[in-house]
Structure 1
């Protein structure tokens, strides 16, 4: 394997997926006590304490932030402490990529995407409580 690196120890090697950072993506932290997936449309670059999914699919974003997925994930992930009492979970990419996400019919998908759009808008513009919309995503998904 030929890894290109600079002449000095502080020079990093080239990354095959640099261009993915500049595209819309779902980002999330390495360690968190709750679900914290969000959509980056600004092209942020992440450090080693965050991961990303190269997708802007708002249906997937909504499902990843649902209570259903959270309850599943805290049973299969590495946890620092008790996940039901505020323990921190490790949101490793290899575990997140194995979260089962069911395909939805068009109406369900549109409803979840609409709720995600509203949550993103309210959070960005007003910093308001979006718990009702978030709860609705969980209800919609559980009925699928």
Structure 2
């Protein structure tokens, strides 16, 4: 809801008050929360009163089924009634054709960053407008590739550098990057490694050895020579 972020994005304390409505209160990541193979959850939760997807038979959320949430929103009824981006009712979010994609396994990343971080999300996080997502086939492998030293070495200059060394990771720039196609079997091998590596990151354990192993797997797929591997090395953007 445009201009109503504080109303529909809850901190943990307020979420607990209305926790019986948990199915429509979803965790949300902001662009700044997304890290390389990890995230820093700020305990923010979005009231997802979606407007349904008619083509998929998904009905809009009826706010009357969630009286505690309705009571919370009615505190700002005058603001809600002036919304120009509402759905079927003044409580519903506007139509979102990709609503169900948030619940799929996906890669999430910030729209602007110095660090080129990508995270493989299988927890169904929602996102704000400061981040993007990628869905599709073989995305565990793609997560590893996007986080790899090879990607940084070859393609960092594909992304425009803004003030302060920040780079813009818009789709139009990612679309120009050639990515080796792999089989489902190869993707599953990467998925095991990526999920293990993300677990290490989230628990703040040592990750460098596994990161190097994943880099080597990427190098193997691209048939890099020993000399090429030495030139690239292990790249960690600080």
Q: TM-score if structure 1 supplies the norm length?
A: 0.77
Shift of 1:139: 1.9
What CA RMSD, in Å, does the superposition of the two structures yield over aligned residues? 2.6
Partner of 1:3: none
Partner of 2:105: 24
Partner of 2:200: 122
Give yes or no for contact 2:139–2:187 (8 Å, CA) kept in 1.
no
Q: Which runs of 5+ in 2 are unaligned?
A: 1-80, 87-92, 222-238
Which residue of the other structure, out of 148, 157, 160, is the alignment partner of 1:78?
160
Partner of 1:62: 144
Structure-2 separation of matches of 1:105 and 1:18: 28
- Alignment of 1:34 with 2:108, yes or no, is no
Structure-2 separation of matches of 1:44 and 1:109: 22
Give yes or no for contact 1:58–1:116 (8 Å, CA) kept in 2.
yes
Shift of 1:24: 1.8
Partner of 2:217: 140
Give yes or no for contact 1:108–1:140 (8 Å, CA) kept in 2.
no
Partner of 1:8: 83
Q: Which runs of 5+ in 1 are unaligned?
A: 1-5
- Alignment of 1:43 with 2:43, yes or no, is no
> Structure 1 33/129 Cα, relative in aligned 2: closer, same or farther at 3 Å?
farther
> Structure 1 143/128 Cα, relative in aligned 2: closer, same or farther at 3 Å?
same
Give yes or no for contact 2:140–2:188 (8 Å, CA) kept in 1.
no
Q: TM-score if structure 2 supplies the norm length?
A: 0.49
- Alignment of 1:88 with 2:172, yes or no, is no
Structure-2 separation of matches of 1:105 and 1:17: 26
The structure with the larger Rg is 2
Shift of 1:41: 1.6
Give yes or no for contact 2:109–2:117 (8 Å, CA) kept in 1.
yes
Structure-2 separation of matches of 1:89 and 1:72: 15
